[in-house]
Chain A
Amino acid sequence: KAGVTQTPRYLIKTRGQQVTLSCSPISGHRSVSWYQQTPGQGLQFLFEYFSETQRNKGNFPGRFSGRQFSNSRSEMNVSTLELGDSALYLCASRSASGGKAGELFFGEGSRLTVL
């Protein structure tokens, strides 16, 4: 099985711009979650999508949004970028049912630098 794939791997933006990140989950996984990882804050949950619906949401401002398509692929968007948005954005997919619900499969991440 192919793993979780994230694109782009690296990107540089300037303040005020917006960015869209993409994630393709493992085949058969209907749940996709997004996390922000920074050295100071660790791993922070952004949101989770399941069958095209946002199921859980973290404590991030409305500038951060996401969506999921019928093929389970997901995108997240950050508008009006700020310097503090510089981070590694991780996508993870899971089976989201039964005993496998706790096992997340992570992508390599998209490293965003905001100048």
Chain B
Amino acid sequence: AQRVTQPEKLLSVFKGAPVELKCNYSYSGSPELFWYVQYSRQRLQLLLRHISRESIKGFTADLNKGETSFHLKKPFAQEEDSAMYYCALISVGSARQLTFGSGTQLTVLP
């Protein structure tokens, strides 16, 4: 069974400080991983996917298969980064089921 774990429910950092949101997964196959974000009063939306190897709003995430992790990082946090972040994994089979972690509420303090 696939599982996504986000160990931190709450995370606070000061503006300008680096931020890392942790995500660990359990999956028997080759995973596809994503980060979703929900800003206050906005819809939950896709932030980035590991396949694209992209940087979105200064955020990057590297898939580490050895540590089964997909941590989200940003070198200099901004107040507008305050949001709920969800890590997600999609199964490879025909059903392509998406499994979300429990989320991390990030607060960037001024």
The yes or no answer to B46 lying at the interface (CB within 8 A) is: yes
The yes or no answer to A56 lying at the interface (CB within 8 A) is: yes
Q: Assess the A102–B45 pair: CB atoms within 8 A.
A: no
Q: Contacts of A96 on B, CB cut-off 8 Å?
A: 96
Q: Assess the A102–B101 pair: CB atoms within 8 A.
A: no
Bound Cα distance from A11 to B96, whole angstroms? 32
The yes or no answer to A61 lying at the interface (CB within 8 A) is: no
Counting contact residues on chain A (CB < 8 A from B), the size range is: 20 to 34
The yes or no answer to B74 lying at the interface (CB within 8 A) is: no
Given known A-B contacts A99-B51, A102-B49, A102-B90, A107 and B43 have beta carbons under 8 A apart: yes
Name the residue on B nearest A101 (C-beta). B96
Bound Cα distance from A97 to B95, whole angstroms? 10
Given known A-B contacts A41-B102, A42-B103, A102 and B34 have beta carbons under 8 A apart: yes
Q: Contacts of A99 on B, CB cut-off 8 Å?
A: 51
Q: Assess the B97–A48 pair: CB atoms within 8 A.
A: yes
Q: Assess the A43–B46 pair: CB atoms within 8 A.
A: no
Tell me how far the C-beta of A111 lies from the nearest C-beta in chain B, rounded to whole angstroms: 12
Q: Contacts of A41 on B, CB cut-off 8 Å?
A: 102
Contacting A at CB under 8 A, from B86-103, are: 86, 88, 90, 95-103
Name the residue on B nearest A108 (C-beta). B43
Bound Cα distance from A3 to B42, whole angstroms? 13
Q: Contacts of B100 on A, CB cut-off 8 Å?
A: 35, 42-43, 45
The yes or no answer to B32 lying at the interface (CB within 8 A) is: yes
Residues on A facing B (Cβ under 8 Å): 3, 33, 35, 41-43, 45, 48, 55-56, 90, 92, 96, 99, 101-108
Residues on B facing A (Cβ under 8 Å): 32, 34, 36, 43-46, 49, 51, 86, 88, 90, 95-103
